[in-house]
Amino acid sequence: MTALSYRSGYAATEIAELKQRWDGEVDRLYDLQHEAGLAQTRALGVINRTIDPSSVIVCAAGGLPGDLHRLWRSSEPKTYHMEYGFSCMGYEVSGAFGAALADPDREVYAVVGDGSYLMLHSELVTSLQEGRKITVLLFDNHGFQCIHNLQRGHGSDGFGNEFRYREASTGRLTGGYLPIDFAAHARSLGAKAYKATNAEELAQALRQAKEETVTTLIEIPVVPGTNTDGYESWWQVGVPEVSVSEKVLAAHAEMKTRIQAARPI
């Protein structure tokens, strides 16, 4: 055995072991139980295990692209359509409609957060007008939680990224969550709609949505903060060097340390 073939065999063994470990982590997150409700990773697991392998998923912005990149298991080509480059909020519904136009023989699913959906959902109407069915899987976590998590992870207490009422006593956006009925909104446009609050309801809604002949939306309330995170990765953003907040100063110092330790490109 040559040195090259030995190293290649060792690398293949190591890769197989790492894949086995990661498969176990994906299974753990797909089966994750949360006392407050449906975890986002569990909802993705139900979807991945329920829809047809030939189905196309479309996603673009928020925490979902990171979750799908880590967790989604594709078994057929041309089924995973992701807009990574600019995190274009609102692309999901229109992108799914485009995918349905391009390949009308496949089921197409838009995987979208409630923030992105509210920014741009009008092509849902166009899909009804053109008779091209898509299924919108709307993850409702009460706001722009991806940026909310980013704020809190860098010293801020968070501001303006949750859909909450403003409290009269303080003037701050710290009141209760807005009770937005996304399923009712979709029905008002002419689509079919379901709401799934747990894994069993979600699996049933997916089966029912597949039988529908027109665009369908499934509203999926998920617990904020139950997305994937970490795994030795971090987001390089600017953190103020000068602040009256000790948390911001600590976040700046941590960011500086990470940048210095990062491998040069």
- Which residues lie across from 108 on neighbouring strands? 56
Q: Is 103 exposed, middle or buried (CB count within 10 Å of its CB: 0-12, 13-18, 19+)?
A: middle
pLDDT (0 to 100) of residue 233: 81
Per-residue pLDDT of the chain (265 residues; tens, 9 = 90+): 555 555 666 688 899 999 999 999 999 999 999 999 999 999 999 999 999 999 999 999 989 999 999 999 999 999 999 987 778 888 999 999 999 999 999 999 999 999 999 999 999 999 999 999 999 999 999 999 888 888 888 888 888 889 999 999 999 999 999 999 999 999 999 999 999 999 999 999 999 999 999 999 999 999 999 999 888 888 888 898 999 999 999 999 999 998 888 888 7
Q: Which amino acid is at 89?
A: M
On whether the CB atoms of residues 109 and 64 are closer than 8 A, the answer is no
Residue 152 is predicted with a pLDDT of 84
Q: What pLDDT score does 8 carry?
A: 67
Q: Are 127 and 213 in contact (CB under 8 A)?
A: no
Q: What is the pLDDT of residue 46?
A: 98
- Reduced to 3 DSSP states, what percent helix, strand and coil does the chain have, rounded to the nearest 5? 45, 15, 40
Task: Give the pLDDT score at 23.
Answer: 96
How many CA atoms lie within 13 Å of 111's alpha carbon, on the beta-carbon side?
30
Reference 224, options 138, 139, 137; nearest CA is 139
State the Cα–Cα distance between residues 55 and 78, nearest whole angstrom: 9
- What does 86-117 look like in DSSP terms, one character per residue? S--TTHHHHHHHHHHHH-TTS-EEEEEEHHHH
| pLDDT at residue 2, as a whole number | 57
